[in-house]
Amino acid sequence: MNIKDLPFNSRGTIDLAKVTPISITTGDRASVPLPPGAVKVNGDSWPDGKTYTGDVTLTWAHRNRSLQLGLALVQQDAASVGAAPEGSYTIDVLIAGTVTRTATGITGTSFTYTHAQRLADDANLAHTVQFRITPANGALVGTIRTTDSFVMN
């Protein structure tokens, strides 16, 4: 798309014919996948500061921009809309705020982070853990959801 930016100040605006057009590429916001809903860690919507022993399972519900057209707003804790996401999810595991593990191409609604993986990623069990879920549809990336911090031991 070619646009012309018309600057103005207290002296007025420049003549449109004198402005050089610039080329821009617009984003495809309408096609960006929606973030997942009903995100839970071991069944807890708000795991803030909790301690879990053993493996931890992250779960969520699909949201589908195409299937939700014309529907009323979908509640945060509602079940999945559609049987599959519009693309896939990437899950990042953060320990003490640093990404230590990434899983890509996930099309289901759960991810299990084992205690053995936790120890391999960082043996200091006092460090907090978070999950980050990124919905992607090709090159389009939706809003990233990050869980509260929790402890695994």
Whether 88 is covered by a domain: the verdict is: yes
In a domain, 122, yes or no: yes
144 assigned to some structural domain: yes
Radius of gyration of the chain (CA): 22
Domain of 140 in residue numbering reads as: 29-152
The per-residue pLDDT for 28 is 66
Q: Is residue 134 part of a domain?
A: yes
Q: Give the total number of structural domains in the chain.
A: 1
Residue 143 lies in a domain: yes
Asked, for residue 50, whether it belongs to a domain, the answer is: yes
Per DSSP, the three-state class of 100 is: strand
Residue 23 contacts by C-beta under 8 Å, 6 or more apart in sequence? 1, 2
Q: Is the pTM of this model over 0.85?
A: no
Q: What pLDDT digit, counting tens, does each position of 15-50 carry?
A: 888 888 998 877 666 778 888 999 999 999 999 999
- Provide the CATH number for the domain around residue 118: 2.60.40.10
What is the spatial distance between Cα 138 and Cα 84, in angstroms, rounded to a whole number? Answer: 15
87-143 pLDDT, tens digit per residue, is 899 999 999 999 999 999 999 999 999 999 999 999 999 999 999 999 998 888 999
Using CA atoms, how far residue 127 sits from 121, 123, 124, 133, in Å, is 11, 9, 6, 20
> Does residue 19 form part of some domain?
no
**Could you tell me if residue 3 is inside a domain?**
no
